[in-house]
Structure 1
Amino acid sequence: MKVAGAFAAGGGSVRSVAAACTAGITPNPSSVMPRMPLEEFVETASLLDSLRRGVREMKKRKPSDPLSWFFQAAIHGVQLDPTDLGYKYYKAALDQDPGVAQVDQKYWKQCPHFGQHSADFLPWHRAYTFHFEQILREHTGDSNFSLPYWNYGPRTNRKFPKAFGVQHLDGNPGNDADENINPLIMKERDFYLTYYEHPLIPNMPLLELSDAVVDNTSALATDIFFGTTEDTGIGGGIADNNPGTRGLLESRPHDNIHRVVGGIIPGAAVGHDQNGHEIEVDALGAMAQPPTAGFDPIFPVHHTNIDWIWSQWSVMPGKKWGTLPDASWFMERPWFFFDAKGNCINEPRKSYFDHRALGVKFKYEDLSSMPLPLPSFPAALVVADSGTASRIKSTQAVATLDSRIEAGSAQNTTIVFPSRTLDALRSASFDRSQKRLLLRISITGLNRLPIVGFDVHLTRAAPSGELKRTDPSFLGSVHLFVHAHHDDEVFQDFTIQDPTVVDSASPAVTFVPVALTQSIGTGRPNLQGSPLRITSISVLAQDR
């Protein structure tokens, strides 16, 4: 296999290549095959062999090498806290290669799940996947190789892909030779959803994805990319610094796919009982948290599918950019990637908004339609822009429900606004023509929440019937793909589209449990698990 550039000998240091981050983007040549659905990809043995070979070769490289599997995963996220279970990935890399400790950490933990604006999510992950794919292609030895995309939308594709779920390639569990272990396997995944091998349980896996977890209807239906707030528009916005806000595509299906694949790993961590004795406790799998998700080989084919959904949206009639950020935002260079030769790349955000300009193709895209083009940004306009700080919209608390609430997974949980909250809302002095209302939910214990989702509805009174995502009361879904270390509290904001709801006599917030997985064969929804632990609910006013 040919590996190009400075790292052909098997692993150089990032320090030797990144002093001047001046390499430009090299688009894919026209000979590179279009990305195809995973279910078609695996039918061609040579393509699947190329994928396995590329992953295996990247995993062989020194972790301090930018072309290695570890380094590429760490660009997305890496856990550096020794008290967290996810630290084991960094610890293993450090034990193998002391040079890992010398890497400039500006290259790591760059994904927009660590406090950046939601509008960064789609372009950053397109950039990451594009550059990762070029590096992987170099390691496959196939110059035409492209990643497939995990096309989990059709009901025939709801079962976890077997190519990623078998451990022993020859089917013999007793053959643990290195060449017989599937490089696409990951033990830190949900057992009943992703495992295909077990000596005592036949017909594994037992679960598959539900309709709710793959739902992308709201993302495809919206007409705008950038929302007026960060939780509207397919791509989000730049209105606040709250890492709990999401654009529509990041919220569904992206987040919940991460959570169900990672799942809960029984007894995977060590805790302490009330007497201080060590005990086994459950832990989240790799895909379920941003600092560890990139280490799972299913991660790239999940994100090629997210890129495919965005690409479909971009050529649909009637789509527009919405509340466009200022020109300087597009010209900023906050991200660092590497090309297939190990050269550092630091290009503007705007470089990643057109997949075709990158030479990325999808097998079933409509080539007769052009992706939504970005406007041109004259240099004078860019210079005149005032920068990031001025983009943040002021937000203030108006009223709060401080009661601790547990929303169970067996039935809906409704909280009616108490009189003191209503009094605070009615006495608040602000101009509603200049403000929009948000609902903030503070949650704890997300590190233990099972693979059950929760939809959030705001109604004028306690609801008596079924609540659906198509109802005007639907605000969004609780975001499960967050870094919740131990029992950290996280908060999530939802835009109240109809602010008159809070003026009613007894407005109510309802949490609707949503099965993200179901039994294979029977379709029985999997709603088992611990409740959602809510510490407070607040109404906020944000500048328009």
Structure 2
Amino acid sequence: MSITRRSVIVQGGVIGAGVLASGLPGIKAFAQISPLPWRRSLQGLAWNDPIVATYRDAVRILKAMPASEKFNWVKLSEIHGSPSGFKYCPHGNWYFLPWHRAFTAMYERIVRQVTKNNDFAMPFWDWTANPYLPDIFTMQKTPDHKENPLYVATRTWRPTQPMPNNIVGQGVLNSILASTPYEIFGTSRPRGQNSLDPSWITGGGGTQGILEATPHNQVHNNIGGYMPTASSPRDPIFFMHHANIDRIWATWNLRNSNSADPLWTNMPFNENFYNVDGSFWSPKVSDLYIPEELGYTYGFRNYFKVATASAKTLALDNKLSSVIAETTSDAAVAGLTTAFVENSKAATRNAPLSLPVKIPAGALQGIFSQPPLPSGMETMDFGAAREQAASAPRVLAFLRDVEITDPKTTSVRVFLGKHDLKADTPVTDPHYVGSFAVLDHSGDHHGAHGHRPPPSFVLDLTDAIQRVYGGGHADGEDINLQLVPVGAGAGKPGSAKPARLEIAIVSA
């Protein structure tokens, strides 16, 4: 299929169509089609589309290679991890996005090499536009009666069941794209990082925002089979999922810059990946900013064309970066108020956990007096949305060191001030804040300090506080954050026990 102006619109998916049809710099993609291979949405691609057929052929070829070959399907997946645990793959810190961009790009290049199709680009599964497992992964045999190497029998997610709206829906996507700065959008640095020692890459230790904690982790866990495990790249749908995560990052970069901290930009992934000739490819993070420089495109142009931000917006972003990196305290910085509560109890399906936190008098008054903040998706004007957001305080909840049992089958829902909370309380309830899950790292004990800390998460409570408490909250009273685990995929939920809840109220 040739790429035309019409196919850009049709195949661009929810994000692509919205961004390219706006007044953003990406509109130039309509005027000039890139000569680079174009990553397209799986939605609407037939089973015998050349892109799908190329990927299917490549998976078949790689699976048939001798086990000793470095490009053997299983051997390649072990770069990510194996049944004994994760190897080079980072989760739960700020290397998550660039590492997986390089990993997916490596596979994309290998597919071109083994199929001799240099026009191939890894398609993406836009689960916001189509929350069902794509048909090409659910048929055991293709319509020409051949075995389908994209089918994995151990998946537990039913083809007729959509991914839940509260993990992949448009509202979740809007919140992701409105998240700033990078360490809230793309997960934060490991706690205490002070060097470029490679052990920081795989040791977790950061705080996960919505992108990693919600659609990334929960789509992995829901699919089942290999996907909730360190061996997840053995399922060919892995790369469709990660191409979509990568596309969201590229979209975010149209109006937002990545972290400039050298602990992130200068980190090398030494001998983590292969070139197509079998030699090692060892990019550092700053080599991985631009998809086009890696040999593929989503049709966007002019990344990082951030409109000149006001002093207020810059001040807010700097404070948010300091808060999430835990490099400041409310005693040292004006415009920052914090409160916390320690915890030793676990939330279960039958016994939700309530975490009341006393907020200092007057700290929330700026929240109550502001209208709900826009995401920027309404008018596609992200710059204006950021300026408006900087005019009011933001309230962030940090759930630190959350111990989750049965993580492969557990999703944790978060509510605010819901006194009769139950496991079946719907996510449409106005008290609902969001949800998170984690990939199972229970077998991993490596990291910067010889162990892997439990995961941490950040949620923006600003809109929920306006919605739930409004002007009816007495000054100086507690706000009550609540957790309830629910089942994910085909299993029963475990428990969730945060060691600490911190509330940060940040204003420019």
Class of the TM-score when normalised by the shorter of the 2 chains: 0.5 to 0.7
SS of match in other structure, 1:494: strand
| Partner Cα separation in structure 2 for residue 496 and residue 308 of structure 1 | 23
Q: Give the structure-1-normalised TM-score.
A: 0.60
| Partner Cα separation in structure 2 for residue 220 and residue 485 of structure 1 | 34
Among 92, 100, 120, the alignment partner of 1:125 is 100
Do the aligned residues in 2 keep the contact of 1:454 with 1:477 (CA within 8 Å)?
A: yes
Match of 2:87 in 1: 109
> Any stretches of 5+ residues in structure 1 without a counterpart?
1-29, 82-107, 173-179, 194-204, 263-284, 375-390, 427-432, 518-527
Report how far residue 252 of structure 1 moved: 3.1
SS of match in other structure, 2:162: strand
Do the aligned residues in 2 keep the contact of 1:407 with 1:531 (CA within 8 Å)?
A: yes
Q: Does structure 1 residue 167 correspond to structure 2 residue 140?
A: yes
| Partner Cα separation in structure 2 for residue 225 and residue 343 of structure 1 | 37
Q: Does structure 1 residue 479 correspond to structure 2 residue 415?
A: no
Q: Does structure 1 residue 530 correspond to structure 2 residue 492?
A: yes
Decide which structure has the larger Cα Rg and report it.
1
| Partner Cα separation in structure 2 for residue 137 and residue 51 of structure 1 | 9
Which AA in structure 1 matches 2:46? V
Q: Does structure 1 residue 254 correspond to structure 2 residue 216?
A: yes
> Any stretches of 5+ residues in structure 2 without a counterpart?
1-33, 193-203, 307-323, 330-338, 361-392, 445-451
Match of 1:215 in 2: 169
Which AA in structure 2 matches 1:445? T
| Partner Cα separation in structure 1 for residue 294 and residue 455 of structure 2 | 36
Do the aligned residues in 2 keep the contact of 1:223 with 1:320 (CA within 8 Å)?
A: no
Do the aligned residues in 2 keep the contact of 1:75 with 1:111 (CA within 8 Å)?
A: yes
Q: Does structure 1 residue 456 correspond to structure 2 residue 414?
A: yes
| Partner Cα separation in structure 2 for residue 135 and residue 255 of structure 1 | 26
Q: Does structure 1 residue 333 correspond to structure 2 residue 291?
A: no
Which AA in structure 1 matches 2:352? T
Q: Does structure 1 residue 370 correspond to structure 2 residue 374?
A: no
Q: CA 1:502 to 1:253, structure 2 compared with 1: closer, same or farther past 3 Å?
A: farther
| Partner Cα separation in structure 2 for residue 296 and residue 248 of structure 1 | 24
| Partner Cα separation in structure 2 for residue 536 and residue 187 of structure 1 | 35
Match of 1:401 in 2: 343
Among 478, 501, 506, the alignment partner of 1:539 is 501
Q: Does structure 1 residue 493 correspond to structure 2 residue 433?
A: no
Report how far residue 250 of structure 1 moved: 1.8
| Partner Cα separation in structure 1 for residue 207 and residue 67 of structure 2 | 33
Do the aligned residues in 2 keep the contact of 1:414 with 1:508 (CA within 8 Å)?
A: no
SS of match in other structure, 1:405: coil
SS of match in other structure, 2:40: coil
SS of match in other structure, 2:120: coil
Among 279, 297, 311, the alignment partner of 2:236 is 297
Q: How does 1:308-319 map to 2 (within 5 A)?
A: 308-315=247-254, 319=255
Q: CA 1:495 to 1:257, structure 2 compared with 1: closer, same or farther past 3 Å?
A: closer
Match of 1:37 in 2: 41
Q: CA 1:541 to 1:254, structure 2 compared with 1: closer, same or farther past 3 Å?
A: closer
SS of match in other structure, 1:35: coil
Name the Cα RMSD after superposition: 4.2
Match of 1:348 in 2: 284
| Partner Cα separation in structure 1 for residue 430 and residue 139 of structure 2 | 41
| Partner Cα separation in structure 2 for residue 31 and residue 437 of structure 1 | 44
SS of match in other structure, 2:207: coil
| Partner Cα separation in structure 1 for residue 477 and residue 504 of structure 2 | 23
Deviates more, 1:181-190 or 1:129-138: 181-190
| Partner Cα separation in structure 2 for residue 502 and residue 68 of structure 1 | 63
* Identity value in percent: 23
Match of 1:445 in 2: 405
| Partner Cα separation in structure 2 for residue 150 and residue 306 of structure 1 | 9
Match of 2:479 in 1: 507
Tell me the number of residue pairs that the alignment of Structure 1 and Structure 2 aligns. 386
| Partner Cα separation in structure 1 for residue 478 and residue 326 of structure 2 | 29
Q: How does 1:233-252 map to 2 (within 5 A)?
A: 234-238=185-189, 240=191, 242-243=204-205, 245-252=207-214
Instruction: Output one character per residue of 1:46-100: Cα deviation in whole Å (capped at 9) or x when no partner.
Output: 433322211111112233433221232111222226xxxxxxxxxxxxxxxxxxx
Report how far residue 352 of structure 1 moved: 0.7
SS of match in other structure, 1:128: helix
Instruction: Output one character per residue of 1:460-483: Cα deviation in whole Å (capped at 9) or x when no partner.
Output: x73789886897973x42223332
Instruction: Output one character per residue of 1:399-420: Cα deviation in whole Å (capped at 9) or x when no partner.
Output: 3232333134xxx935254xxx
| Partner Cα separation in structure 1 for residue 221 and residue 84 of structure 2 | 21
Match of 1:136 in 2: 111
Do the aligned residues in 1 keep the contact of 2:408 with 2:439 (CA within 8 Å)?
A: no
Q: CA 1:320 to 1:398, structure 2 compared with 1: closer, same or farther past 3 Å?
A: same
Deviates more, 1:136-145 or 1:477-486: 477-486
Q: CA 1:337 to 1:373, structure 2 compared with 1: closer, same or farther past 3 Å?
A: farther
Q: How does 1:184-199 map to 2 (within 5 A)?
A: 184-190=150-156, 192-193=157-158
Q: CA 1:235 to 1:471, structure 2 compared with 1: closer, same or farther past 3 Å?
A: farther
Do the aligned residues in 2 keep the contact of 1:256 with 1:480 (CA within 8 Å)?
A: yes
Do the aligned residues in 2 keep the contact of 1:50 with 1:141 (CA within 8 Å)?
A: no
Match of 1:287 in 2: 227
SS of match in other structure, 1:456: strand
Q: CA 1:211 to 1:143, structure 2 compared with 1: closer, same or farther past 3 Å?
A: same
Report how far residue 189 of structure 1 moved: 0.9
Report how far residue 534 of structure 1 moved: 2.8
Higher relative contact order (CA 8 A, sep 6+): 2
Instruction: Output one character per residue of 1:80-132: Cα deviation in whole Å (capped at 9) or x when no partner.
Output: 26xxxxxxxxxxxxxxxxxxxxxxxxxx722212x6x2x21211111111111
Report how far residue 186 of structure 1 moved: 1.3
SS of match in other structure, 1:133: helix
Which AA in structure 2 matches 1:358? L
Which AA in structure 2 matches 1:372? F
